[in-house]
Structure 1
Amino acid sequence: MWMRGLLLWFALLSLAACHHGMQPVAFQTQGYPQKLSDWHVVEARDGLLQLNEGVVPYELNTPLFTDYAHKLRTIWMPKGVSARYSPTDTFDFPVGTIISKTFFYPLPKGEARNTADVARTYDTSRDFAGPGQGLKLADVHLVETRLLVRRKDGWIAMPYVWNAEQTEALLARTGDVQALTLVNDNGERENFNYVVPDQSQCASCHARDWTTRALQPIGPKARHLNRDYRYADGDENQLAHLMRVGYLTGAPLPADAPRNANWMDAHASLDARARAYLDINCGHCHNPKGAANTTGLTLDIATPEDRHIGLCKPPTAAGQGTGDHLFDIMPGRPDDSILPYRLGSAEPGTMMPEIGRSTVHKEGLALIRAWIAAQSGECLILH
């Protein structure tokens, strides 16, 4: 009995670690609140972007690329309800769930705050005040926080853009554009426009079934969440943690759940890394029910490595998007394949994904090129 009480105490400690006098999370059953703080999920307070009580952070094994932005992802649910586990699909979240994703950049090292300059880095060591704690506002630049809210009629998406003072994020249903400059550790600079999608564009990625266009979260699937996270009370597998705090039911032991590779993990196979990258960046559209279902190109992790994933597959339409290449993937020849050509473009009408980025993910592109270069076989070219 004492052990159960101790575990419950640790769970409550984990849920409340970042709560500092904030009002309780306020689930809004209708309308579009004008301020992010109306929800009380995350708030800028005392030099931190703080998580409220019961707001659980999480990460993905391989995240979606968004112009090198870092992301703070969270889940909150009302007391007494839980999501239902699925081994393949997005978990079945109850009415009242709020999923948030805050997009931010670390500030360049050694530079005074300049809202146009942001760091291009994979280093996250300066982002958080500590394990399970909020973002350090002195070291990051907040851009936007997107909410996915599970109401009775389904999921609603709401984008909120942070003000210059970094004190509040305001509803931006028509989207926003911010001119920023990526600065890497060598001082190299790249100007770009960070585009906050408008509310209607959310369906481009989040409508898993294009016939109904009903929104669904993308990240909260077993294969993306099956990894450890450093919570305030220590490291724990995220699936196990969600089960322990009552936010998830029906999950097996982590060893028995599917798990995507980390695309940057040098110990994982090239194939596993590339498939995980395509799954999260492309699979939400390129699947049998998604927005790109008419292309015949399916890129989610369940797709077998045959013609459906693009091997020797001609495009459904010619023109700007193909670069005059003949096949989506030509084994051993990334320079002659459409897939890396589109990933390597930032031009509207050519680049893929079509929205969500203004820059080329150089490291991701290199991964996909290496994956194609390692494949064997020949495509039949008809003259």
Structure 2
Amino acid sequence: MRYLGFILLLGLFSYQPGPKFPSKLSDYGLFEGELKYQLPHSGVTPYALISPLFSDYAHKLRFIQLPSGKSVAYNPDSVFQFPVGTRIAKTFYYPMDERKPNGSRRLMETRILSHEPTGWVALPYIWNEEQTEAYLEVAGGTSLVEFKNQQGKKQQVNYVVPNVNQCKGCHERDGAMTPIGPSARQMNASIQYAHGNENQLDYWGRTNQMSDVPTSRPKFVSYIDEGASLNERVKAYLDINCAHCHNPKGPAKSSGLFLDHRYYGTTAYGIMKSPVAAGRGSGGLQYDIVAGKPAESILHYRMNSHDPGVMMPELGRSIIHQEGVALIREWIKSLN
């Protein structure tokens, strides 16, 4: 891990974002009125994911701006292939009291994914204490935030904003940057627009932002929905939290552990699969998943750790996702 950090640091010092990327979030013109309210301008479309990536319990506001006159082609299987000129904005924030979702909140970071002619570029903008502006910080940063959870208990998180090279650690596929979340399975659900509730894919088709949208479409369940099938919840959870690296074209392809939902039920999904490289990260355990035995499963062991040399995912979180670990524990127990 120290070696990896050194390589990332070298890459960071060599990275120059160039004058074409604004130094302030407001310069993009994505929002109207006071920036902190995150009200999208015309031509900027809010979106949401059914099963979002866990990021230290941060909430997220998501927006996409397509280049004028352009649309994205529907596909049922993978992340949508957005045209050059697309900008995706994702604002990470914490409600000061999770029992009051419409109450005060603290905006931490707005991450811009910009589709340039040379490929996607990830740019982190960190919000100031006054919550009036967010500024480009290619080196990333950390900030302590306090909030109350659903039980009214005070929580503290040392929120980490990744640097521009660490973003590649999750967003890279086949050596190129790509978005992770926006796909048919993740967006086949209704959200609140200015005119009312509407299915996102229907809305995108109706407004000519997406072509060839069919009436029959795949859909993930929400992994927090306890009324949904346990297997379907696990497929959604591992797909969004792990499969961006653990797939045949991702940074973790050499592990042979593929957690894309399409590999569910195969040996590559980890059941009684030996790790390619044993070491401290395996905790001395022999298999990625041992049916019925979470305590003997490497997947559970690494998810349940916050040791930087052990934990998975190794980027994007600094604390344990207790509910996610509980979900995987329950699922492994159910296997036979």
Aligned to 1:171: 136
Contact 1:101 1:146 in 2 (8 A): yes
The Cα RMSD (Å) is: 1.8
**Greater C-alpha Rg:** 1
- Match for 2:242: what amino acid? C
Q: Cα offset for 1:318?
A: 1.8
Q: Cα offset for 1:227?
A: 0.9
Counterpart-to-counterpart distance in 2, 1:164 and 1:188: 23
Counterpart-to-counterpart distance in 1, 2:113 and 2:186: 18
- Do the aligned partners of residues 124 and 368 (structure 1) sit closer, same or farther apart at CA in structure 2, a change above 3 Å counting? farther
Q: Does 1:85 align with 2:61?
A: no
- Match for 1:234: what amino acid? G
Scaled by the length of structure 2, the TM-score of the pair is 0.91
- Do the aligned partners of residues 44 and 160 (structure 1) sit closer, same or farther apart at CA in structure 2, a change above 3 Å counting? farther
* 1:29-48 mapped onto 2 (5 Å cutoff): 31-42=20-31, 45=34, 48=37
Aligned to 2:145: 180
Q: Does 1:328 align with 2:304?
A: no
Write out per-residue CA displacement over residues 260-301 of structure 1, whole angstroms, 9 at most, x where no aligned residue: 111012231000001100000000000001000000100011
Q: Does 1:232 align with 2:200?
A: no
Contact 2:95 2:101 in 1 (8 A): no
Counterpart-to-counterpart distance in 1, 2:36 and 2:86: 27
Counting aligned pairs with the same residue, the percent is: 47
Q: Cα offset for 1:43?
A: 5.7
Structure 1: 5+ residue stretches without partners = 1-27, 109-120, 128-138, 377-383
Q: Does 1:197 align with 2:162?
A: yes
* 1:1-383 mapped onto 2 (5 Å cutoff): 31-42=20-31, 45=34, 48-108=37-97, 121=98, 125-126=101-102, 139-209=104-174, 213-253=175-215, 256-376=216-336
Scaled by the length of structure 1, the TM-score of the pair is 0.80
- Do the aligned partners of residues 351 and 337 (structure 1) sit closer, same or farther apart at CA in structure 2, a change above 3 Å counting? same
Q: Cα offset for 1:101?
A: 0.3
Counterpart-to-counterpart distance in 2, 1:164 and 1:192: 16
Counterpart-to-counterpart distance in 2, 1:272 and 1:124: 29
Write out per-residue CA displacement over residues 95-122 of structure 1, whole angstroms, 9 at most, x where no aligned residue: 21111100001013xxxxxxxxxxxx4x
Counterpart-to-counterpart distance in 2, 1:164 and 1:372: 43
- Do the aligned partners of residues 315 and 324 (structure 1) sit closer, same or farther apart at CA in structure 2, a change above 3 Å counting? same
Structure 2: 5+ residue stretches without partners = 1-16
Contact 2:95 2:147 in 1 (8 A): no
Contact 2:173 2:249 in 1 (8 A): yes
Counterpart-to-counterpart distance in 1, 2:276 and 2:169: 20
Contact 1:44 1:166 in 2 (8 A): no
